[in-house]
Amino acid sequence: MRFLRFVVIVAVVLGGLFVGADRWAVGYAEDRLAEKIQSQKGLVGSAEVDIHGFPFLTQALSHELEQVDLKLKDVDAGADGRRTRLSQLDASFHDVKLNGNYTGGSAKRAEGTALISYADLTKASQTGATLTYGGQPGKLKVTATVDVLGRPITRSVISTVALVDGKGGAGGKTVRVHADSVPGEGIPGIESAIRRRTDFDRGIDDGLPAGLKLTALTSDEAGVHLTLTGTDVSLAGS
């Protein structure tokens, strides 16, 4: 009985040491991976990494991770030299294969969401208009000042925000804001002058993890929400 008790105590101690070492190792790996991601182009704010699965050490030795969750704050994405700030980007990477020196890897599949605040969408418009929630999903209220016959007139319109195919046909998507109708619609010169202030397109594929694509969009009081999915998605380079 004494020997059995001794064996149990030793097993508990060794098990505790292993768990402690495993948790230290996963914490260290999460911090290093977050630093790697944060140093990449486009990320202005912070990066948080959460590696799932236990034990971590056996996953690390095989260079394969079950799931890695990534939370990014303030990401500058864009296309054609125009940038759009994503307030937050959350993504889950599944079946991650690490590279030889553990500085990155790729995931068989990934999905996530991103948020563009109305303040950041207003800056991205570069038209001088102000964008707010339009009262229902997929709708925005766009307020702009337009010169009509030499007089400044401020008007608000309800616009639809949607995803459309980007330029080049390579699978990229563009966020499009288009007024449902405008004052003076159909009057030569008036409609085009207003739409130059209210309507715009912004591509944001450049700045997202390679392989992660925009697939859906909606809006609410918090801002414009993007849905992202992808296969063979890069995680902090390879």
* pLDDT exceeds cutoff 60 at 127: yes
Gap between the Cα atoms of 195 and 211, Å rounded: 33
Residue of higher predicted confidence among 157 and 187: 157
pLDDT (0 to 100) of residue 151: 79
Gap between the Cα atoms of 204 and 198, Å rounded: 19
199 closest CA partner among 228, 150, 162: 162
Residue of higher predicted confidence among 42 and 59: 59
Mean pLDDT of 179-191: 78
* pLDDT exceeds cutoff 80 at 190: no
Mean pLDDT of 129-144: 93
- 3-state DSSP call for residue 172? coil
**pTM to 2 decimal places:** 0.81
> Average pLDDT over the chain, rounded to whole?
80
Gap between the Cα atoms of 32 and 197, Å rounded: 44
pLDDT (0 to 100) of residue 23: 72
Which tokens belong to 136? 């229902």
pLDDT band at residue 19 using 50, 70 and 90 as cut-offs:
low
Pure H helices in 136-223: 190-198
pLDDT (0 to 100) of residue 119: 94
pLDDT (0 to 100) of residue 235: 79
* pLDDT exceeds cutoff 80 at 42: no
pLDDT (0 to 100) of residue 194: 84
